[in-house]
Structure formats: C-alpha cells, structure tokens
Structure 1
Amino acid sequence: MMEIKNFEGLGRFDNDWLSARYHFSFANYYDPERMGLGPLRVWNDDTIRPGTGFDQHGHRDMEIITYVRKGAITHKDHLGNQGRTEAGDVQVMSAGTGIMHAEFNREDEPTEIFQIWIEPAVHGVPPRWETRSFPKAGREGVLVPLASGRKSDAKGDGEGALPIYQDAAILGATLKTGQSVTHQLAPGRKAYLVAATGALTVNGKPVQARDGVALTDVEAVEIAAEEDAEILLADVG
C-alpha cells in the first residue's frame, strides 16, 4: 500500500518567525488518520527566520533527528553541548531521562529543516546530543544511513550513521535527473519518504518536493528522479 500526502495538505503553523508543516499530528494539528507510522511519530518541515528559533525547552524519551536542508541550526543544551549543523548534515538528540535545549537560526538567511521524532525502544537512557557531516557527494545515487539503531550502519570512529535507540534508520540520497535507487523493505517493515527538493516517481507514482509518501506491505521502494532531487527515507518496524 502506498499513500501520498501532498505538501499543501499537511498540517500547518505560521507566526512571525516560524513556518511549519506537519506530516503527522503535532501540537495543535490533530488528524486521527495521521498519528505516525510505527515508531515514527513526527516529521515536521520547518522554516526558521534569521536570528530566531526555539527557546530552551525540554524533552524526554524520544529520538529527535534534525536534517538541515538549507542554512544551519545552532544547538545548545543544559548538558553543555553546543554546535552548529549545516545544510545536508544531521544532528541527533536522544532525550532519554530528560534534556533542556534551544535551537536557533544564527544565519543571515532562513534555515530549513526536517525534524523527525522516533519513539525509542528503551526508556530512561542518559541524554545525549551529536552532530555529523554527510557530504552530498558521498550519497549520489545511493541511500546512505544518516541515523540508525542498527549496528551494521555504525562504522565507529565518528563515521557511519548517528546512533539512535530504535530498530529504525533514516537514509538520504541525492539523485540526478534520470537516476534511480531501490530500497528493499524486510517483511513487516514500513517506509516514509520525503524529497527535500526535486520531483520523483515512487513505485511508478508521481511525487513532488516535500510531499510525504507512506509505504506499507511492499517489498521494495523504487525511486526515480524526474529532476535533480534530494531525498530522505525512514525505514521503521
């Protein structure tokens, strides 16, 4: 089964500093048909205006993955972690027993991010934060694990996917016009796919940039670029 959620039909929130679109129920947006996909609970498409951001606030027992599409996001938390994550790169925060953090756009241009929340398989772990660079040149025509709870995706020594506490993976690829890539899904697995940029066909159906595609009960996700594209795919149980 394949369901396409058009970008214009996503939940929305707009104020003077944030433009947010919600793929699943979040905050004041509630759709009983859009409560998540397996442990994937949140996929937000945020545009943050320069010099603004999310003031300090708290989370617990959630894996929060931020993929920067444009600009950069600057993180600071009560554990003393500070860092700046640039376009194409990823940060992961395992909230665990609790973490207080702030996320700001310190750039001179709007910052665009995907914020993805995945429920952890274990609760009460020590909170942690990490950021890692994933050059787009390293994922041309191939899906590269960016954040994952699978040991096979971790290379150690600060390479490979950023770890999360769940049997799930966030993968990214860049495709030139005419290129294609196929992702195999193990029995019982599901996928959620969003193109940050570009037009695609997914299992033969047209998909536009920032649409959401949920796939269940399929063996493979076949992705072809109708124009240059940057894609993210979540593989979850």
Structure 2
Amino acid sequence: MIEHRPFETLGRIERDWLTTGLHFRFGEIGPPEHAPVGALYVWNDDEFAPHSGFGMHPHRNVEIVTYVCSGAITHEDDFGNRSRLDAGDVQVMSAGTGVFHSERNEEPVPTRLFQIWLTPRRRDGEPRWATRQFPREQEEAQLLPLASGDAADVRDGALEINADARLLHAAMLAGQTLEYALPAGGQAYLVAATGRLDVASVRLAARDGAAIMGEDRVSVSAIDRTSVFLLELLSEFPQSE
C-alpha cells in the first residue's frame, strides 16, 4: 500500500517567523489518518524566517535527524556543541537522558529544513550529537544512507542513530528510475524534496510524502530533476558495537 500525503493536506503551524508542514499528525494538528509509521512519528518541513528560530528547549528519549534543504541553521546545546549547518548538511541528536538545544537561522535569508523524530530503540541513553555533509554529486539515481541504526551503514560513513531506521537520499535527473527492495516486514516513508516523481503509480509533487507499507519493493521515477528522501523502518536493525 502506498498512502499519498500531498503537501497541501498536511497539518500546518504558522507563526510570524515559522511555517511548518507536518507529515504526521502532532497533537491535534493534522489529519488523524496521518499516523506514525514504525518508529517514525514526526517529519516536519520547516521554513524559518531570517534571524529567527527555536531558543533553548529540552528533549528526552527521542532521536532527531535534521537535513538542511536551503539556507543554513545554527545549532547549540548544553553539552557545549555549536555548529552552523549549511544546505546539504545532516545532523543527528540522540536526546537520551535529556538535552537542551537551540536551532536558529542566523542568516539574512530564509532557511528550509526537514526535522525527523524517531522513537529510540533504547531509552535513557547518553545524549549524543554529530553532523556531516554528504557529497550530493555522487548520489545520482542511487539511494545512499545519511543516518542509520544499521551497523553496516555506520561503518560506511552514515551518522549513527539509536533507532531501527535508515534515512536514505538520492538525487535524480528527469527520466531516471530507481528500484529499491524493502525487507520483509519493512515499512518506509518517502518525501520528494524538490520536483515531481512517480512512486509506482502514485504521482508526487514537490514536498509531498508517501507512506509505504506491505510492499516488497518500491519503484521511483523522476519526472523532473528531483531530490528524494526515503526513511526505511524495521522492527530491528543490527547495532554498532
């Protein structure tokens, strides 16, 4: 089953400085049918106005993956980490026993980013933070892992997360197609960050999402030049030692 979640149907949060499309229902915001998929329960498409953002605030027992689509964001936390993330950068934060952090757009232009929340496989772990930029020119029509709870992906350079999930990305040119096999019992959530694409027989516009359940494999065809994100979810992945 492929459940299409068009961008215009997503729950929305609008403030003077923030516009958010929520791929998953959050509290009372969003359609009830936009339910979690496996460990994934938040995928927000955020737009920050210049010189704005979230001040210091707490999290506990959540895995947070951030991908900067355009602009830049500045992260700071109470463990002494501070970093400016540019477009194409990926950040992971394991909140574990608790962390305070801020995410702000200190730039003179708007910033757009994805923020993804996952239920951890182990609770009350030691908080961790890491970031990395991945070379997008090497990703044409091939899904490559950015953040993962699979030990093999981490050994190959993906950022480690404490969750049974893998975040993959592919840049595709118009007319290209990729096939991806889903393990038995696996689920996935796919987002077209830019451009149009077909997921099997379902047409996605830019910023649309699709929940994929009960499928052995997924076929993705680019109508335009596009950027594709696929979060694969399983009941259990091999863990890093």
TM-score (norm 1): 0.96
Moved over 3 A (4+): none
The answer for the alignment partner of 1:202 in structure 2 is 199
Alpha-carbon distance in structure 2 between the residues aligned to 1:160 and 1:208: 31
Aligned counterpart for 1:224 among listed residues 198, 221, 226: 221
Offset at 1:81?
A: 0.4
* CA-CA distance at 1:31 after TM superposition: 3.6
Corresponding pairs, count: 234
Q: Is the 8 A contact 2:10 2:31 kept in 1?
A: no
Pairing 1:26–2:23 present: no
What do the CA deviations read for 1:54-101 (whole angstroms, capped 9, x no partner)? 011000011000011001111000000001111112000000000000
RMSD: 1.1
1:47-66, aligned counterparts within 5 Å? 47-66=47-66
**Match of residue 86 from structure 1:** 86
CA distance in 2, matches of 1:151, 1:194: 24
Segments of structure 1 that go 5 or more residues without pairing to the other structure are: none
Instruction: Pick closer, same or farther for the CA change 1:115–1:57 going to 2, 3 Å.
Output: same
Q: Which residue identity is paired with 1:184?
A: A
Identify the residue that residue 141 of structure 1 maps to in structure 2: 141
Task: Write the mapping of 1:119-130 to structure 2, written as runs, cut at 5 A.
Answer: 119-130=119-130
Q: Percent identity?
A: 47
Structure 2 counterpart of 1:207, which letter?
L
Give, as a single letter, the amino acid of the residue that structure 1 aligns with 2:22. Answer: Y
| Alignment partner, residue 76 of structure 1 | 76
Which residue, out of 172, 182, 188, partners 1:175? 172
How many angstroms apart in 2 are the aligned matches of 1:69 and 1:42? 17
The amino acid across from 2:116 in the alignment is I
Q: Answer yes or no: is the 8 Å Cα contact 2:17–2:48 preserved in 1.
A: yes
Amino acid at match of 1:112: R
Structure 2 SS opposite 1:153: helix
Q: Does 1:166 align with 2:163?
A: yes
Letter in 2 for 1:115: Q
Q: Residue 30 of structure 1: CA displacement?
A: 4.7
2-structure distance, mates of 1:10, 1:113: 16
Equivalent pair of 1:89/1:135 in contact (CA under 8 Å): no
Aligned AA for 1:35? A
How far is 1:166 from its partner? 1.5
Q: For 2:222 and 2:138, locate their aligned partners in 1 and report how far apart those are by CA, in whole Å.
A: 18
Structure 2, gaps ≥5 residues long: 235-241
Secondary structure at the residue paired with 1:223? strand
Counterpart position of 1:106: 106
TM-score with structure 2 length normalisation? 0.95
- Match of residue 11 from structure 1: 11
